[in-house]
Amino acid sequence: MVGEVRILVTFQRAQERLKEVLEMPEQDSTRVIRSLKENGWHVSGKLKQAYPQLEKQELAERVVEALARLLPLWSISYRDNILKPETVFGNDNPLILEIGFGMGETTQKIAQARPDDNFLGVEVFNAGVGALLKRIDDNQISNIRIIQHDAVEVVRDMIAPASLAGIHIYFPDPWPKKRHHKRRLVQSPFIQLLTSRLKPGGYIHCATDWENYAEQMLEVLSAEPMLSNTHDGYAPRPDFRPLTKFENRGLRLGHGVWDLIFTRNDTPTPELNWPKKE
């Protein structure tokens, strides 16, 4: 008889927390869980070695169960109405938006180092959402919330103008082939939309390890009249952005990393008319 496996969460602790939730919304957890079941879940080699008696399907089912318990606690459903951070977080601390948090390592470390800021992470991939949920639960972090949805729609529909203290975009997909550059996240229209959600003095911080993408980021951010560069070109990595294992490995191999930090100036926000999907 194999003992209880702790994959994403200690179920008893999650269950105790769940009792504290007065109203458990249906939200997107149903969709996420269904997607996991349909597509399967990556089970690490170490986990399979530790518990060879368990089949992959059984492990996946336990992951699904853990997600079902954690999603209602730390995630927010996408809705076509403005988010009220003071209701979601229970305070009016500064709100930082992170787009594409990957496996959540950086998000976790920054949130722990800055307990007086709130962090809203937007990610579309199941693996990243599950990993950050695990980090939140393992480390008892209370100042992170997750939205699993398209970032453009979240910013357009849920983030109020002039409400963000900061925006983090760390190592977005570089889409290295030239014909795919149009898919890159950092494009002028989206940066204009993002900037309109920043408070005056708020910042947008981008980082990439692709020089060509860094050049595009610098060009796009510099061309936005509502933004001012905090440095002459690229910025040194700020202390609050930790080095990830992946980044450290790249630096040892001589790979470059480029940070860009711009702040919202007093230029008035133009009227934005982002079309919505039919």
Structure tokens at 232: 């002459």
Which tokens go with 91? Answer: 């305070």
Determine which one of 28, 137, 173, 232 is catalytic: 173
Given the structure tokens 């020089």, which residue do they identify? 211
Active-site residue, 266 included: no
Two tokens, residue 267: 């230029």
Are 253 and 210 in contact by the 8 Å Cβ rule? The answer is no
Q: Give the pair of three-digit tokens for residue 250.
A: 């790249």
CB atoms within 10 A of CB 258: 19
Residues designated as active site: 173
